[in-house]
Amino acid sequence: MTFSGFADTNAKFFRALAKHQDRAWFQAHKTEFEEGWNAPMKALLDELRDLVDGAFPHTDLGAPKVFRIFRDVRFSKDKSPYKTHVGGFLPLQRTAKATEVPIALYLHAGLPECFAAAGHYMMDGPALTRFREAVADDKRGKELVRLLAMLEKKKFKVDSRELTKRVPKGYDPEHPRAEHLKRKGLTVTFPSLPKELLVSRKLVPWLAGHAKTAAPLVEWLAFATA
């Protein structure tokens, strides 16, 4: 299958699913999800992997992965069984979960909005320790600052899932990169995704171009946390 666009620009299926969170409704409309969102996401990521692989000369780009539509409700007060979006990603290692390694591209299509990002969403203990060591290192830390400044200039948004309240123990509270030492993850969200691209082949080069721009940061994270 060649990607030719998602079902529409307004996530009509997911808006309806948000109002009908039950198995009977989903089963009756499953074809809409598969043909309009899930299959296109798989086709898009397959194509993007080939297009952006060359931007990661020092790391292995793994097989694309698409998240299941079913929510994990075990520890949630919200017991709604279905997500109201489709998400997929390109990891830097085979068989990797999105939270275990840096990712070259994450795409979220549906509600509450559509966006794309790259980076390391949530670092485990050993990876976080190595990340902080790299941030504190004069040469590698300055390179990180340079990469982030370059991306912000190009309208990428730098973010972290979680920050510590204070600079971690063992590091100078006045360290010049103290703000980065507090991070428990580091991602960059791509510039605002034009909605009209969701139903167009033009989404492919748009995503590929931004993923390539973010690639040096993703490779920095891969080496820093390995």
Check whether the bond before 176 is cis (ω within 30° of 0): no
Exposure of 67 by Cβ count < 10 A (0-12 exposed, 13-18 middle, 19+ buried)? middle
Cα distances from 181 to residues 3, 143, 174, 221, in angstroms, run 40, 14, 11, 14
| Whether this model's pTM surpasses 0.85 | yes
Give residue 185's pLDDT. 96
Q: Is the pLDDT of residue 206 over 80?
A: yes
Give residue 184's pLDDT. 96
In DSSP terms, which residues pair with 70 in a beta bridge? 82
Report pLDDT digits (tens) over 112-160: 999 999 999 999 999 999 999 999 999 999 999 999 999 999 999 999 9
Place of tokens 């969701």: 198
Give residue 94's pLDDT. 52
Q: How far apart are CA 183 and CA 201, in angstroms?
A: 36
Give residue 49's pLDDT. 97
Q: Is the pLDDT of residue 93 over 80?
A: no
Place of tokens 């296109």: 40
Under a CB-based contact definition with an 8 Å cutoff, are residues 95 and 144 in contact?
no
- The pLDDT of 63-88, averaged and rounded, is 95
Cβ atoms < 10 Å from Cβ of 112:
11
> Where would I find the beta strands (DSSP E) of 181-226?
186-189
Q: Looking at the chain, how many residues does it have?
A: 226
In one-letter notation, the amino acid at residue 93 is Q
DSSP H or E run through 145: helix 138-153
Report pLDDT digits (tens) over 18-71: 999 999 999 999 999 999 999 999 999 999 999 999 999 999 899 999 999 999
Give residue 100's pLDDT. 73
Under a CB-based contact definition with an 8 Å cutoff, are residues 120 and 185 in contact?
yes
Q: Cα 79 from chain centroid?
A: 24
Report pLDDT digits (tens) over 151-184: 999 999 999 999 999 999 999 999 999 999 999 9
In DSSP terms, which residues pair with 65 in a beta bridge? 89
Give residue 147's pLDDT. 99
Quick one: DSSP state of residue 199?
G
Q: How far apart are CA 56 and CA 102, in angstroms?
A: 12
Residue ranges and CATH numbers for the domains of the chain are: 12-225 (3.30.930.20)
Give residue 60's pLDDT. 85
